[in-house]
Amino acid sequence: MPKVEMLAMLLAGGKGSRLGVLTNNIAKPAVPFGAEYRLIDFPLSNCSNSGITTVGVLTQYKPLVLNRYIGSGSSWDLDRHTGGVTVLPPYVKEGGGHWYKGTADAIYQNIEFIDLYDPEYVLVLSGDHIYKMDYSKMLEFHKEKKAEVSIAVLEVPWEETHRFGIMNTNQEQKIIEFQEKPKEAKNNLASMGIYIFNWETLRKYLNEEAERNEDSAGDFGHNIIPAMMNDQLAFYAYTFKDYWKDVGTIESYWQAHMDLLGDQSKLDLQDRKWVIYSVNPNRPPQYISGKAEVENSIINKGAQIMGRVKNSVLFFGVKVGRDAVIEDSVILPNSSIASGSHIKNSIIGRNVTIEKNSQIGVDSDSDQIKITVVGDEELIPESSQIKSGTVVG
């Protein structure tokens, strides 16, 4: 194999249990997003737009949909004779094998794949974040700082610091302390789960961790990065200031869709300078009847709208019957909402049938939004009343 300067390893094996019924049948990176995409489209498109043409995608939990979706990588211009995209599930080797125990263990089990390309740098990514980022600029920063490890960070609200790995830095952006999900944070620079490592350095620490501790969690945040920090390696924080969303919860997944709407959208999916690519099947055009009302919404191909849709995101194949009302909601592919139904502040899964005159998530008078979720393939009987905040599935 020809040598590459930087190779990307995309972690896409997560179950995404906090997304509940939305990931009962598919891996989290395969969850639909934005009426047209899946979560994994964002890091794959970022790689393609950044000029990174060798990508390993590490799969594990319910990988069938994700494997079929990625295919040869042609949708992201990653179908190359050398390099391109390679799906990497766990496998049994001469000395045995096991599931990926953690993020670092997933990389460790694929050292042979990385060594095929003999990269100078390895970019480690998560497969379930929503953002647009030029990784080549982060690599330039890494080189300028003569870093051994660079971690992409962004400022988060102080009340959310307990959810992230927090980086404490000096004036030169050198990381002097790492706090993994601290109860009391000293800073609000949160790790985005995007790392650039010098490959020889990372390889050494992965091997040492595996040899030293068979019971290790094999995690970057708990094992590898603290070990590197203890040895005083050159760590630097690359600050990212554009839109980024970890859609690991129902609330954040819903909010990310709401962020797409409005004249001042926080994430521009129409930007032709930085296209987010996806596998787009050929589908009939959307149909919006003369009596339909659509306000501030995203409606994908193949949708049929005969009712009222307000401030919502509808994926392909969604049907909205006469006098049905959809408000502040996300309707995933091929779901059908019959006439007279009213849906508000909800996420409706794939291939759901909601029979007529059903009320979903419309009962709350509180200022606090409670997201209602209906899982894939569910049948909601006629005149059902589903309270806000309920999970069906």
Q: Which residues are annotated as a binding site for alpha-D-glucose 1-phosphate?
A: 100, 165, 180-181, 191
Output DSSP code: residue 189: E
Strand pairing partners for 102? none
Annotation: binding site: 100, 165, 180-181, 191
User: Could you give the CA distance from residue 85 to residue 66 in angstroms, rounded to a whole number?
Assistant: 13
Tokens describing residue 253: 């997944």
CA atoms within 13 A on the CB side of 15: 9
**Please, which residues have CB within 8 angstroms of residue 258's CB and are 6 or more apart in sequence?**
311, 328
- Which residue's structure tokens are 């190359």? 80
Instruction: Write out the DSSP string of 235-274.
Output: EEEEE--S-EEE--SHHHHHHHHHTT-STT-SS-TT-TTS
The pair of three-digit structure tokens given for residue 189, joined into one six-digit string: 């620079």
- Is the torsion defined by CA of 144, 145, 146, 150 positive or negative? negative
| Tokens linked to 328 | 């502040």
Three-class SS state of 37 = strand
Cβ atoms 190, 154 nearer than 8 A:
yes
3-state secondary structure of 102: coil
Give the single-character DSSP code of 328: S
| DSSP letter string, 103-163 | HHHHHHTTHHHHHHH--SEEEEEESSEEE---HHHHHHHHHHTT-SEEEEEEE--GGGGGG
